[in-house]
């Protein structure tokens, strides 16, 4: 676990609202200012990740030392042009070793690797939603003693 790292995990169909965006911005700014987080890990395939990325990008304009890192669940090796494309939006990208040969569980393994690398995890989780991968990731984060923030509330 790295002290200055936070990851985002949530349902694919998160409700994108002005309130969610405000709460994410305020929470992330608090993490940057008061808890010295300087690296944010992002996955893919969810509206929540997109909203988080947009809020961290706004904060990066205020706190330029902040890094956005895309953790791939696909393409262990990537071509130089694809990496260059990703690095136009992110300050880094990698494929976790745990995701190798994970088969259909690749997103679960990727999420677990992100959690293990993070001191903080921000989850978009709704109890009435099909638990699925987000529920599994939340349970895993709690077992890892990661500081968890739940949205929406």
State the pTM of this model.
0.93
Domain count, the chain: 1
pLDDT of residue 63 exceeding 80, the answer is: yes
SS3 of the chain: CEEEEEEEEECCCCCCCHHHHHHHHHHHHHHHHHCCCCEEEECCCCHHHHHHHHHHHHHHHHCCCCEEEEEECCCCCCCHHHHHHHCCCCCEEEECHHHCCCHHHHHHHHHHHHHHCEEEEEEECCCCCCCHHHHHHHHHHHHCCCEEEEECC
- Structural domain range at position 108: 2-151
pLDDT of residue 60 exceeding 70, the answer is: yes
- pLDDT for the residue 13: 82
CATH number of the domain enclosing 133: 3.40.50.450
- pLDDT for the residue 131: 60
Predicted confidence (pLDDT) per residue in 90-114, tens digit: 999 999 888 878 788 888 999 999 9
């Amino acid at each position: 676990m790295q002290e200055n790292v936070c990851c985002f995990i949530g349902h694919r169909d998160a409700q994108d609202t002005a309130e969610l965006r405000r709460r994410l911005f305020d929470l992330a700014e608090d993490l940057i200012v008061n808890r010295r987080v300087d690296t944010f890990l992002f996955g893919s395939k969810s509206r929540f990740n997109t909203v988080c990325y947009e809020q961290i990008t706004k904060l990066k304009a205020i706190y330029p030392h902040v890094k956005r890192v895309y953790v791939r669940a696909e393409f262990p090796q990537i071509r130089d042009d694809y990496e260059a494309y990703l690095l136009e939006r992110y300050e880094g990208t990698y494929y976790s070793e745990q995701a190798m040969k994970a088969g259909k569980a690749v997103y679960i393994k990727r999420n677990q690797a992100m959690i293990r690398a993070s001191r903080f995890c921000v989850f978009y989780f709704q109890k009435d939603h099909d638990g699925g991968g987000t529920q599994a990731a939340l349970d895993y984060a709690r077992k890892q003693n990661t500081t968890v923030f739940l949205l929406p509330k």
